[in-house]
């Protein structure tokens, strides 16, 4: 098990776009394992690869009371449709310790991604999973929760 250092918001890497993962990339299994170890050690429910310093489009999610099969892995995730309905949720981020901000997001998102074994998958996410996926996909695009709030509120 390898718990890696989480990249803080002071690091410019968090502002870079992550690159799509190719099907030939054999390093993703080990990367995912490190991401899960790091996320659990930090007590988080979601992590993007850039948060441990790897600019690849990989996300791990493990929500309390979530998928009974365990953690969910999303490779090259993209939102292909989002609901018009939006809701505000108070979000934190492992890269911004102690910061909590209200973020307004669509309540439902349709996400296309690849599984760890390379299968093309889609998911209609709602509730906490929808919030978490949007938060982590933001990371893949160099976006942080503090970008979603007005300066007055922050």
Binding site for Zn ion (CB under 5 A): 93
Give the tokens for residue 12: 């410019």
The strand pairing partners of 101, in sequence order, are: 91
**Cα distance between residue 144 and residue 140, in whole Å:** 10
Which of 60, 58, 55 minimizes the C-alpha distance to 17? 55
Which residue number, 93 or 131, has a Cβ lying nearer to Zn ion? 93
C-beta of 24 vs 153, nearer to Zn ion: 153
Number of helices and strands (H, E) in the chain? Answer: 2, 7
Q: Which CB, 108 or 148, lies closer to Zn ion?
A: 148
In the complex, what is the shortest distance from the CB of residue 30 to Zn ion, in angstroms, rounded to a whole number?
A: 22
Q: Give the nearest distance from C-beta 51 to Zn ion in angstroms.
A: 7
Query: 140: closest CA among 71, 75, 61?
Result: 75
Instruction: Provide the 10 A C-beta neighbour count for residue 106.
Output: 19
Nearest to Zn ion of 93, 109 (CB atom): 93
Give the max Cα distance, the chain.
46
- The phi and psi torsions of 12 (rounded to 5 degrees) equal -65, -20
Q: Compute the least distance from the CB of residue 3 to Zn ion, in Å.
A: 17
| Catalytic residue list contains 136 | yes
Which of the following is catalytic: 24, 78, 81, 136? Answer: 136
CB of 148 to Zn ion, least distance (A): 12
Active site residues: 136
């Amino acid at each position: 098990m390898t718990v890696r250092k989480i990249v803080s918001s002071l690091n410019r890497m968090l502002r870079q776009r992550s690159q799509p993962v190719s099907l030939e990339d054999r390093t993703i299994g080990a990367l995912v394992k490190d991401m899960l170890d790091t996320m659990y050690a930090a007590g988080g429910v979601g992590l993007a690869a850039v948060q441990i310093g790897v600019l690849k489009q990989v996300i791990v999610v493990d929500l309390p009371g979530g998928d009974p099969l365990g953690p969910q892995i999303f490779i090259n995730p993209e939102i292909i449709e989002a609901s018009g309905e939006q809701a505000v949720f108070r979000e934190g981020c492992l890269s911004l310790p102690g910061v909590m901000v209200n973020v307004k997001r669509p309540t439902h998102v349709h996400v296309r991604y690849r599984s760890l074994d390379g299968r093309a998958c889609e998911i209609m996410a709602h509730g906490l999973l929808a919030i978490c996926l949007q938060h982590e996909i933001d990371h893949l695009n160099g976006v942080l929760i503090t970008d979603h709030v007005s300066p007055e509120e922050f």
